[in-house]
């Protein structure tokens, strides 16, 4: 049947479907148009400008944590946006690393044959998952960190750090100019290890001899940079925080807001990651372990070569969505005043400029962009790891 003919014999049902879709599009278009017209009149009435010209205007407000240069008197709203975005990315990436470490530990602990270990881990997961994140965040910030001693009574942490209700003060590493050789050695070591592994795997496929790259890799990644470090004259020193009368000088200051947000996000997300890990490991059929044993693999090799690769296939997609959740949840920062994207941009900038439509659209676009990029990478990963059936 040709295409034209199909068109000619469209049934009543098909015409109804087309009409329905046209109606839907008209309604959506109409709602958007009405919203647009209303917003224009309401904004004009309130005397609020529209458009993105505010981006280059001077911001004029302070931000408590800035990873890039920012000054309230000269920097623009656009600069404030980047400061907020970087703070969001900072807390999200630190949180992802910490939550993954804690989550995998607890997920494996839940499967332990030790009754006490598995039930302790289970209790952690149940407790943390059933209490709202915002409540946990407020608890860590208001009840724990804010009730730490004041500056005078700072707790001295071994290693030259101080802890008080203004934050955690850590020694700041100062890198000498020769430190770049150490970094170069590290990069070289990692590259050489990867190449060695590739070669080892090729050789194993050809001759069946298993590669012994672990010790070489350790030597290349850890020992080589260390060697270069001392050869270059140990180009690393620390600036230790010092107690002055009214403040602490030197060192890196970690704001209590950042610490509270990090602790809360890590603890909360770790509970969800633990469940993902547990489900992933349980999803590998016990027959797989038994088959590996029957082939003569030791339990460590069976785990590494048979169980983990299959479990990862199940774990990675929900794990990524937990990472995304963590990133989105970092917007709760606004409740305790950590200067993340939402607090700086959808908070301060919105209040000063009043341009809510533009500001919220930009904020949402950032999160959408992060989500879409991540799910694209995830699809790619899923495509590479798909089970290829014979």
Partner 1 sequence: MAAADRIYLRDAPAELLPAPMASTGVLGWVRANLFSSPLNIALTILCAALIVWIVPDLLRFFIFDAVWSGANREACLVSPQHPEPGACWPFVRVWSSYFVYGFYPVSERWRVDLFFTLLAFGIAWLAWLGAPRRDLGAVYFFIVLPIVSYILLSGWPMIGLADVPTSLWGGILVTIVVAIVGIVASLPLGILLALGRRSAMPAVRLASIAFIEFVRGVPLITVLFMASVMLPLFVPDRFAPDKLMRALIGVALFASAYMAEVVRGGLLSIPRGQYEAAQALGLPYWRMMILVILPQALRVTLPNIVNTSIGLFKDTTLVFIVGIFDFLRTIEAARGDPNWATPVTSVTGYAFAAVFYFVCCYGMSRYSRNVEARLARAQRR
Q: Which residues in this chain contact partner 1 in the complex, by CB under 8 A?
A: 17, 20-22, 24-25, 28, 34-35, 38-39, 42-43, 112-117, 120, 126-127, 129-135, 138-139, 142-143, 147, 328-329, 331-332, 334-335, 342, 346, 350, 356-357, 360, 363-364, 367-368, 371-372
Please, are residues 215 and 24 in contact by the beta-carbon 8 Å criterion?
no
Chain-centroid distance of CA 367 in Å reads 12
Nearest to partner 1 of 266, 363 (CB atom): 363
Please, are residues 372 and 363 in contact by the beta-carbon 8 Å criterion?
no
Which pair of tokens denotes residue 238?
């620390």
Nearest to partner 1 of 123, 176 (CB atom): 123
Q: How far is the CB of 331 from partner 1 (least distance, A)?
A: 4
The SS3 assignment for 170 reads strand
Q: How far is the CB of 355 from partner 1 (least distance, A)?
A: 10
Q: How far is the CB of 272 from partner 1 (least distance, A)?
A: 10
Q: How far is the CB of 111 from partner 1 (least distance, A)?
A: 13
| Neighbouring C-alpha atoms within 13 Å toward the C-beta of 91 | 34
Q: How far is the CB of 174 from partner 1 (least distance, A)?
A: 37
Nearest to partner 1 of 6, 72 (CB atom): 6
Which alpha helices (DSSP H) does 177-298 contain, by range?
179-207, 213-218, 224-231, 256-282, 286-294
Q: How far is the CB of 108 from partner 1 (least distance, A)?
A: 12
Q: Which residues contact 156 (CB under 8 A, 6 or more apart)?
A: 162
Nearest to partner 1 of 151, 221 (CB atom): 151
Q: How far is the CB of 140 from partner 1 (least distance, A)?
A: 10
Which pair of tokens denotes residue 273?
């990651």
Q: Rounded to an integer, what distance in angstroms lies between the CA atom of residue 334 and that of residue 262?
A: 14
Q: Rounded to an integer, what distance in angstroms lies between the CA atom of residue 85 and that of residue 367?
A: 10
Q: Which residue in 270, 23, 311, 27 sits closest to 128, CA to CA?
A: 270
Nearest to partner 1 of 3, 113 (CB atom): 113
* β-sheet bridge partners, residue 167: 164
Which pair of tokens denotes residue 56?
């280059």
* β-sheet bridge partners, residue 272: none
* Phi/psi at 231 (5° precision): -65, -35
Q: How far is the CB of 42 from partner 1 (least distance, A)?
A: 5
Nearest to partner 1 of 51, 233 (CB atom): 51
The SS3 assignment for 148 reads coil
Nearest to partner 1 of 49, 372 (CB atom): 372
Nearest to partner 1 of 21, 74 (CB atom): 21
């Amino acid at each position: 049947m040709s295409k034209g003919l199909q068109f000619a014999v469209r049934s009543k049902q098909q015409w109804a479907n087309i009409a329905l879709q046209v109606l839907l599009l008209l309604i959506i278009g109409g709602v958007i148009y009405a919203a647009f017209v209303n917003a224009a009149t309401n904004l004009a009435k309130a005397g609020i400008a529209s458009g993105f010209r505010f981006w280059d205007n001077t911001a004029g407000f302070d931000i408590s944590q800035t990873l890039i240069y920012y000054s309230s008197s000269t920097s623009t709203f656009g600069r404030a946006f980047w400061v907020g975005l970087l703070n969001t990315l900072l807390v999200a990436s630190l949180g992802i690393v910490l939550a993954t470490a804690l989550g995998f530990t607890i997920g494996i602990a839940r499967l332990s044959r030790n009754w006490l270990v598995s039930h302790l881990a289970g209790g952690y997961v149940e407790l943390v998952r059933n209490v709202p994140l915002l409540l946990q965040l407020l608890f860590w910030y208001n009840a724990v960190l804010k009730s730490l001693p004041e500056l005078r009574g700072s707790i001295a942490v071994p290693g030259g750090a101080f802890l008080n209700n203004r934050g955690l003060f850590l020694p700041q590493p100062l890198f000498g100019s020769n430190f770049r050789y150490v970094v170069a050695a590290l990069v070289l070591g990692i590259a050489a290890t990867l190449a060695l592994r590739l070669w080892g795997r090729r050789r194993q496929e050809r001759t069946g001899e298993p590669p012994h790259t672990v010790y070489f890799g350790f030597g290349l990644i850890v020992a080589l940079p260390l060697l270069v470090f001392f050869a270059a004259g140990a180009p690393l020193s620390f600036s230790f925080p010092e107690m002055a009368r009214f403040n602490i000088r030197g060192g890196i200051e970690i704001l209590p807001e950042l610490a509270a947000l990090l602790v809360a996000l890590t603890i909360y997300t770790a509970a969800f990651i633990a469940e993902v890990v547990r489900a992933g490991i349980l999803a590998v059929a016990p027959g797989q372990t038994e088959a590996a044993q029957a082939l003569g693999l030791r339990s460590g090799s069976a785990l590494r070569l048979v169980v983990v690769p299959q479990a990862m296939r199940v774990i990675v997609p929900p794990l990524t969505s937990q990472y995304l959740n963590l990133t989105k949840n970092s917007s709760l920062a606004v409740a305790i005043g950590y200067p993340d994207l939402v607090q700086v941009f959808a908070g301060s900038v919105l209040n000063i400029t009043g341009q809510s439509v533009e500001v919220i659209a930009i904020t949402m676009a950032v999160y959408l962009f992060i989500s879409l990029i991540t799910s694209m990478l995830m699809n790619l990963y899923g495509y590479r790891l798909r089970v290829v059936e014979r």
